């Protein structure tokens, strides 16, 4: 299927000819990312070539460049979005500040009302979510940060459309004609002609009332009320929505019970928005800078498209407490020349990924359309899996990830080798934490008080002749593990089995999981295993952490 998402969010994208300074490879690279994002975040490379109408060799070069940056993986014949790509959406979210500043208020409102609350911004003739405080209820579908709704479906759109000009209305009508069933919006159930038919009426009501209702415009049962939030200059920068279900509220009772609290929250949000920005004046250098691109070009030759890498680097320069950046600041942060940065910005502006305000550039919500919501679905085991596969290919031993469940470790990811092990482990398998390397890493990562309390409560049975069963001894071992950053356990869970584990930490330094390599004890000495395996295992954990920290910035990543 060819879904041209470019067409329904930004006037001119795909239609108007690019300005002469525009960077072709950046246009093509973004087209590939968009096509990858509209499906499940995974597509055959041949299909990508068809959908983008680019030559296969061009798509291959784009993909090898994106793979080098860490934004996609190529697995056999398929290209897959990778978590690192979320750094582009993170840059937009950090720069727009709405999630950071207003998210806590939305969370509090959700707690107070015990209903889902979201924040959404206008994006062309659509509405894009920038925050979700969900109350998980099985009955209705839940949106994620980055998801896009047609403006006529849902409560926030009628608030934003009140400010539409001729151009926006033209774009809306054109899209309605081209795609009456909303197939270009993968997250909404197809087609609701009523939503379009009542749109103007609802815009008028929203203008009059200052709030807007969604009476099952998205799907049967789903009702919502939204109110606009204005910045210091009076612009409607986002909408806060409270989402409920007809089993709890009709639109009348929803309005009666939540409009008061919503208005109070909006007032607090507007105060927060009026507080001046206190960022430093120079953004810190970004990771994927110009010198990295040069080195990659050197390593990959024609399979690395430098101008695509440069253009994407420009997007990552945003955020860091800076709502907008000058050309000079962007060039400084990325290490690019002003001329290169300028051409990238002209291209991104043409495609609707940045806007200008005076002399400052800022990313747009459209950046979230580059796979953000797809990737926001990933769990920690899914993030870890490709890194564990690489680790196993490197060390030729089985690798796993576990989390702490009570006094046990529980496997959440596992990549076995062909070696026949006596232990039969699958995802879900549990072992006592105290006798395993991953368990010791997880116990050592607990706050000291909790660790002590946990140790006192665990019965320490001798599972083999080697199992540590003295609480004092185990406490000393855990101190060592905490100090060294790894645990090596030799034949304490099972005779003949050796395992080396290291922690996986979240952005705050909290240990959330452990990864290990396990092997036959008879094949080498413990010293030799440590010398051979600690570095590759540590690198795999670091790669998992890098992805997790990007994914975790604005979305919660499930550890199971």
The tokens describing 527, both together, are 């010293």
Residue reference for tokens 């860490």 = 70
Helix-, strand-, coil-residue percentages of the chain, each rounded to 5: 50, 20, 35
Q: Using CB under 6 A, which of the segments 154-162, 253-261, 397-405, 505-513 binds ligand PHB?
A: 154-162
- What x-and-dash track marks residues 120-149 binding ligand PHB by CB under 6 A? -----------------------x------
Instruction: Write down the least CB distance from residue 257 to ligand PHB, Å.
Output: 17
Q: Is 99 among the residues that bind ligand PHB (CB under 6 A)?
A: no
**For every residue of 398-411, which 3-state class applies, written as one string?**
EEEEEEEECCEEEE
Q: Using CB under 6 A, which of the segments 217-225, 260-268, 392-400, 533-541 binds ligand PHB?
A: 217-225
Q: Which residue number, 89 or 154, has a Cβ lying nearer to ligand PHB?
A: 154
List the one residue out of 337, 338, 333 whose CA is nearest residue 322: 333
**Helix spans in 318-447 (H):** 327-334, 338-350, 372-375, 380-395, 437-444
Q: Is 59 among the residues that bind ligand PHB (CB under 6 A)?
A: no
Residue 159 exposure: Cα atoms within 13 Å on the Cβ side: 29
Q: Which residue number, 243 or 336, has a Cβ lying nearer to ligand PHB?
A: 243
Yes or no: say if 330 and 341 are a contact pair by the CB < 8 Å rule.
Answer: yes
Give the helix/strand (H/E) hosting 311: helix 306-316
Q: Using CB under 6 A, which of the segments 29-37, 197-205, 218-226, 291-299 binds ligand PHB?
A: 218-226
Q: Is 445 among the residues that bind ligand PHB (CB under 6 A)?
A: no
Instruction: Write down the least CB distance from residue 1 to ligand PHB, Å.
Output: 25
Q: Is 155 among the residues that bind ligand PHB (CB under 6 A)?
A: yes
The tokens describing 29, both together, are 């690279």
Q: How far apart are CA 319 and CA 94, in angstroms?
A: 4
Q: Is 373 among the residues that bind ligand PHB (CB under 6 A)?
A: no
Residue 364 exposure: Cα atoms within 13 Å on the Cβ side: 20
- What x-and-dash track marks residues 172-211 binding ligand PHB by CB under 6 A? ----------------------------------------
* Burial class of 519 by CB neighbour count within 10 A (0 to 12, 13 to 18, 19+): buried
CA 118 to chain centroid: 17
Yes or no: say if 250 and 133 are a contact pair by the CB < 8 Å rule.
Answer: no
Q: Which of 23, 91, 106, 243 binds ligand PHB (CB under 6 A)?
A: 243
Q: Using CB under 6 A, which of the segments 39-47, 70-78, 222-230, 340-348 binds ligand PHB?
A: 222-230
Instruction: Write down the least CB distance from residue 208 to ligand PHB, Å.
Output: 19
Q: How far apart are CA 412 and CA 504, in angstroms?
A: 13
Q: Is 214 among the residues that bind ligand PHB (CB under 6 A)?
A: yes
Yes or no: say if 307 and 284 are a contact pair by the CB < 8 Å rule.
Answer: no
Instruction: Write down the least CB distance from residue 145 to ligand PHB, Å.
Output: 10
Residue reference for tokens 């990543």 = 557
- What x-and-dash track marks residues 290-319 binding ligand PHB by CB under 6 A? ------------------------------
Q: Which residue number, 120 or 501, has a Cβ lying nearer to ligand PHB?
A: 120
Q: Is 392 among the residues that bind ligand PHB (CB under 6 A)?
A: no
Task: For residue 557, give the DSSP letter.
Answer: -
Q: Which residue number, 144 or 440, has a Cβ lying nearer to ligand PHB?
A: 144
Residue reference for tokens 């001046």 = 276
Q: How far apart are CA 398 and CA 415, in angstroms?
A: 6
Q: How far apart are CA 370 and CA 81, in angstroms?
A: 9
Yes or no: say if 48 and 1 are a contact pair by the CB < 8 Å rule.
Answer: no
Q: Which residue number, 213 or 331, has a Cβ lying nearer to ligand PHB?
A: 213
Q: Is 115 among the residues that bind ligand PHB (CB under 6 A)?
A: no
Q: Which residue number, 154 or 445, has a Cβ lying nearer to ligand PHB?
A: 154
Q: Using CB under 6 A, which of the segments 55-63, 151-159, 368-376, 429-437 binds ligand PHB?
A: 151-159
Q: Which residue number, 241 or 499, has a Cβ lying nearer to ligand PHB?
A: 241
The tokens describing 30, both together, are 């973004």
Q: Which residue number, 91 or 222, has a Cβ lying nearer to ligand PHB?
A: 222
Distance of CA 363 to CAs 317, 351, 355, Å?
10, 11, 6
Q: Which of 99, 118, 296, 552 binds ligand PHB (CB under 6 A)?
A: 118
**Phi first, then psi: what are they for 451, rounded to 5°?**
-60, -45
Number of neighbouring beta carbons within 10 Å of residue 455? 18
Q: Is 218 among the residues that bind ligand PHB (CB under 6 A)?
A: yes
Instruction: Write down the least CB distance from residue 327 to ligand PHB, Å.
Output: 36
Q: Is 482 among the residues that bind ligand PHB (CB under 6 A)?
A: no
Instruction: Write down the least CB distance from residue 118 to ligand PHB, Å.
Output: 3
Instruction: Write down the least CB distance from residue 152 to ligand PHB, Å.
Output: 11
Per CB under 6 A, residues contacting ligand PHB are: 116, 118, 143, 154-156, 214, 218, 222, 224, 226, 241, 243
């Amino acid at each position: 299927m060819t879904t041209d998402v470019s067409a329904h969010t930004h006037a001119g994208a795909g239609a108007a000819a690019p300005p002469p300074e525009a960077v072709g490879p950046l246009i093509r690279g973004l087209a590939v990312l968009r096509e990858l994002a509209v499906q499940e975040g995974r597509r055959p490379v041949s299909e990508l070539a068809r959908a983008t109408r680019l030559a296969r060799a061009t798509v291959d070069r784009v993909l090898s460049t994106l793979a080098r940056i860490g934004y996609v993986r190529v697995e056999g014949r398929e290209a897959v979005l990778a978590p690192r790509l979320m750094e582009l959406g993170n840059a937009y979210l950090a720069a727009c500040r709405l999630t950071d500043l207003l998210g806590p208020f939305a969370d509090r409102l959700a707690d107070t009302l015990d209903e889902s609350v979201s924040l959404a911004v206008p994006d062309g003739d659509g509405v894009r979510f920038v925050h979700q405080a969900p109350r998980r209820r099985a009955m209705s579908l839940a949106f994620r940060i980055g998801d896009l709704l047609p403006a006529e479906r849902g409560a926030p759109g009628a608030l934003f459309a009140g400010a539409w000009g001729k151009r926006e209305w033209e774009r809306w009508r054109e899209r309605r004609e081209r795609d009456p069933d909303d197939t270009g919006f993968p997250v909404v159930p197809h087609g609701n002609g009523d939503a379009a038919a009542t749109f103007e009426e609802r815009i008028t009501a929203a203008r009059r009332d200052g709030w807007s209702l969604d009476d099952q415009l998205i799907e049967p049962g789903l009702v919502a009320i939204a109110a606009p939030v204005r910045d210091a200059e009076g612009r409607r920068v986002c909408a806060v929505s409270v989402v409920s279900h007809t089993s709890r509220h009709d639109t009348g009772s929803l309005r009666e019970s939540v409009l008061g609290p919503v208005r109070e929250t909006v007032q607090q949000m507007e105060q927060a928005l009026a507080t001046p920005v206190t960022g430093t004046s120079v953004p810190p250098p970004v990771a994927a800078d110009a010198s990295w691109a040069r080195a990659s070009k050197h390593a990959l030759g024609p399979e690395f498209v430098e101008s695509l890498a440069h253009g994407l680097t420009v997007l990552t320069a945003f955020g860091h407490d800076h709502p907008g950046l000058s050309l000079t600041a962007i060039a400084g942060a990325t290490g690019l020349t002003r001329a290169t940065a300028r051409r990238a910005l002209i291209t991104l502006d043409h495609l609707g990924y940045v806007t200008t305000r005076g002399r400052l550039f800022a990313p747009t919500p459209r950046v979230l359309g580059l796979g953000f919501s797809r990737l926001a679905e990933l769990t920690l085991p899914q993030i870890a899996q490709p890194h564990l596969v690489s680790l196993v290919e490197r060390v030729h031993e089985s690798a796993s990830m576990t989390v702490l469940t009570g006094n046990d470790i529980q496997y959440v990811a596992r990549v076995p080798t062909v070696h026949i092990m006596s232990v039969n482990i699958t995802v879900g398998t549990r072992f006592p934490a105290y006798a395993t390397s991953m368990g010791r890493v997880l116990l050592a990562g607990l706050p000291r008080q909790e660790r002590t309390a946990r140790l006192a409560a665990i019965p320490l049975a001798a599972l083999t002749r080697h199992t540590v069963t003295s609480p004092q001894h185990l406490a000393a071992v855990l101190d060592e593990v905490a100090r060294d950053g790894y645990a090596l356990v030799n034949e304490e869970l099972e005779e003949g089995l050796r395992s080396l584990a290291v922690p996986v930490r979240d952005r705050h330094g909290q240990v959330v999981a452990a990864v290990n390599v396990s092997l036959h004890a008879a094949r080498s000495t413990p010293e030799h295993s440590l010398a051979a395996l600690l570095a590759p295992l540590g690198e795999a954990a670091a790669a998992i952490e890098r992805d997790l920290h990007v994914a975790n910035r604005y979305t919660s990543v499930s550890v199971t």
